[in-house]
Amino acid sequence: MPDIVPRCTVNVPFTKEQIKAMFRGCDRDRDGRLSKEELNAGFQRLDSHLPCWRAWWALHRADANGDGFISEGELDDLVKYAFKQGYESERERKNRIVKESMPDIVPRCRVNVPFTKEQIKATFRGCDRDRDGRLSKEELNAGFQRLGSHLPCWRAWWALHRADANGDGYIGEGELDDLVKYAFKQGYKVK
């Protein structure tokens, strides 16, 4: 009988650096500036409800020289605008929505941005289904699944082996930093 893994839903806000990397990755023609179509793809990647409107508004707010593109010098204003919107990274929801809502004529951007330690910690805390302040092997498994591990069950076992200092079979609040360090070293990325 297969293991039943508790499902956890965690919304973790993107950092400014992650947003900047996503927009840079949407520069399909690699000319160092973002067109309205590339901005649209970026806002779709961020799961904006109105990506076309957000792209227009971002051009209006961040295009200082009025050339219709966001250049490298204007990128910080774009990131500031996008960051204020509070976009969150929820892996399954984002993947489903992006696949369903992006027509083929919109350039797709594939950018993988690393999770921060704070995002990893929030992901694991969100997988504490029974809210007892400690993570079981099953909850660790769910956390590694959320992070995109190819072998979440093995990662959960290994994380428990490495971070469970008191040997009680759970990762408590005092052991969470060791778990986060271990998971961060694996290089999981927001996809």
pLDDT tier at 113 (50, 70, 90 boundaries)? Answer: confident
- What does the pLDDT read at residue 12? 64
Q: Domain tally for the chain?
A: 2
pLDDT (tens digit, 9 = 90+) per residue, 5-55? 444 545 567 788 888 988 999 999 999 999 999 998 888 888 787 888 889
> Alpha carbon of 48 to those of 7, 108, 111, 119: distances in Å?
24, 15, 16, 20
For 123-136, the pLDDT digits (tens) are 999 999 999 999 99
Q: What pTM value is reported for the model?
A: 0.53
Distance (Å) of CA 64 to CA 19, 68, 145: 20, 9, 42
Range of the domain at 177: 113-190
The CATH number of the domain holding residue 43 is 1.10.238.10
Residue where one domain finishes, among candidates 40, 69, 101: 101
Judge if 33 and 67 occupy the same domain: yes
Same domain as 156, residue 131: yes
166 contact partners, CB below 8 Å, separation of at least 6: 172, 175
Integer angstrom CA distances of residue 97 from 45, 66, 82, 94, 119: 9, 32, 19, 5, 21
In-domain check, residue 76:
yes
Q: Is residue 81 part of a domain?
A: yes
